[in-house]
Amino acid sequence: SQTIHQWPATLVQPVGSPLSLECTVEGTSNPNLYWYRQAAGRGLQLLFYSVGIGQISSEVPQNLSASRPQDRQFILSSKKLLLSDSGFYLCAWSITRNTGELFFGEGSRLTVL
């Protein structure tokens, strides 16, 4: 069966510090991968998606970047965090785009102070 792992689960970072969130999927090949952010009082916002190794598309301009160094690994990064980067970050995967359901990780709670 397929599983998705996301870490760390929680982190508190000072403004201006770097960020790295990692997500891995097991039990499937060539998944579509996504990073969403859920801020307090707001819905899930799609940040990045990837259809293959090294292929990253950004949905919104922001202080973050994403990379996919391996087929089932997706990394969310920032060189310098802003207060507005605080939120609940969710990695997800799907088998197909446009028609398939998303399978989400457990999320990473980021607090920037």
Partner 1 sequence: SQKIEQNSEALNIQEGKTATLTCNYTNYSPAYLQWYRQDPGRGPVFLLLIRENEKEKRKERLKVTFDTTLKQSLFHITASQPADSATYLCALASGSQGNLIFGKGTKLSVKP
Binding site for partner 1 (CB under 8 A): 6, 34, 36, 41-44, 46, 49, 57, 59, 90, 92, 97-99, 101-107, 109
- Measured CA to CA, the distance from residue 10 to residue 109 in angstroms comes to 5
Question: Is the Cβ of residue 14 or residue 42 nearer to partner 1 in the bound state?
Answer: 42
Work out the burial of residue 66: count CB atoms within 10 Å of its CB; fewer than 13 is exposed, 13-18 middle, 19 or more buried: buried
Between 80 and 97, CB nearer to partner 1 = 97
CB 106 within 8 A of CB 75: no
Q: Least Å distance between CB 89 and partner 1?
A: 10
